[in-house]
Amino acid sequence: MSYIPSLALLEQVAAGNIRAAGRMISRAEIGLAEARPALAQIYRRAGQAHVIGLTGVPGSGKSTLVARLTAALRARGARVGIVAVDPSSPYSGGAILGDRIRMTELANDPDVFIRSMATRGATGGMARAALDAVDILDVAGFRTIIIETVGVGQDEVEIARASDTTVVVSAPGLGDEIQAIKAGILEIADIHVVSKCDRDDANRTLTDLKQMLTLGTLSAMQGKPAWQVPVVGVSAYTGQGIDDLLMRIVQHRDVLAATDLGLQRRRRVAAFRLEKTAQTMLLERFANAARDIAPPLADTLALRGTDPYAAAQTLIARTLRKEYADDLA
């Protein structure tokens, strides 16, 4: 099959061609320079979808919950895009695809698009091309898009800067009340979900989270906030609480549309997008310019003829002069 230029592929994406959307996402993941003008146009056309970020500690049942939530959305006629960020294989760099395996029952639905993406070393629980994928699915006609992160650690909270509604999933028996405090999850959640609530010990986790949220609200805010973070108990096994969760998501979307929270969220997402895009472009240009400059500096460093700090400073200065001379003129 001959290569289709990305700008031509863009029109196929806009027409709802799923295969074209998948190919465009692949080009975004690779970082293909030829695709950037098309991705720029896609960004300008996007912005219609409601983006739900779903995160939580490993083992909390995120993928199963995504499958249940998607089924509920489909029952209401929504077209749903899913960007499932998986850990990278330490050998191939590819995604392990655990999330996609757990969503096999959705794979045959033409109105559900599932894309697994490897983190490829990116910190923060998200793949670098995840937001490009969201824009592509948005332009392709998916009005609800779920980003499932790789699993929250103490610094993996980027999803709150990349989604309209952030859902944090906890599970009983994992010590999630302590994990929530350590990871800063109390601050990033728009909705807290306690999964596996059919278990006997779920009520304790529900109560603990509600108490911590109450204490945080009383200490941090004056007056009634535009949105009060709810705690919802669900069971992906029985379906309990799924409709309640969906109702809360819709309520949060409506609050964003009716108050300044929506504008604040868009600004936060835009600032995050600008920062990440600049970092990616800087790293690419730095790597390109350093290819010839770094080896002799490394040789000198290996012979103890310099120190790592001086060598790094020289490398930075030389690469900037080489790669950004025209931009800085």
Q: Measure CA 215 to chain center.
A: 28
DSSP-derived 3-state class of residue 123: coil
Spell out the per-residue pLDDT of the chain, length 329, in tens. Answer: 688 999 999 999 999 999 999 999 999 998 898 999 999 999 999 999 999 999 887 777 888 899 999 999 999 999 999 998 875 544 444 444 545 555 667 778 889 999 988 765 454 445 678 999 999 999 999 999 999 987 655 445 788 888 999 999 888 875 545 555 545 666 788 999 998 888 887 888 788 888 877 766 555 555 567 888 999 999 988 889 999 999 999 999 999 999 999 999 999 999 999 998 898 888 888 998 899 999 999 999 999 999 999 999 999 999 988 877 666 55
Burial of residue 36 (number of CB atoms within 10 Å: 0-12, 13-18, 19+): middle
Closest CA to 229 of 221, 241, 219, 217: 217
pLDDT in tens, 93-115: 444 454 555 566 777 888 999 99
Task: Please report, for residues 176, 204, 234, 304, 321, the alpha-carbon distance to residue 172 in angstroms, rounded to integers and kept in the order given.
Answer: 7, 8, 11, 54, 54
Q: Contact at 8 Å (CB) between 229 and 213?
A: yes
Question: Which tokens go with 277?
Answer: 């895009």
Mean pLDDT, the chain, integer: 84
> For residues 22 and 209, what is the distance between their CA atoms, to the nearest angstrom?
39
**∠ CA(151), CA(154), CA(160), 5° rounding?**
65
The pair of three-digit structure tokens given for residue 178, joined into one six-digit string: 């302590």
Check if the beta carbon of residue 36 is closer than 8 Å to that of residue 130: no
Q: How many CA atoms lie within 13 A of 134 on its CB side?
A: 26
Q: What is the pLDDT of residues 185-224, one digit of tens each?
A: 667 889 999 988 888 878 887 888 888 777 665 555 555 6
Spatial distance between the Cα atoms of 325 and 289, rounded to a whole number of angstroms: 12
Tell me the residue type at 59.
G
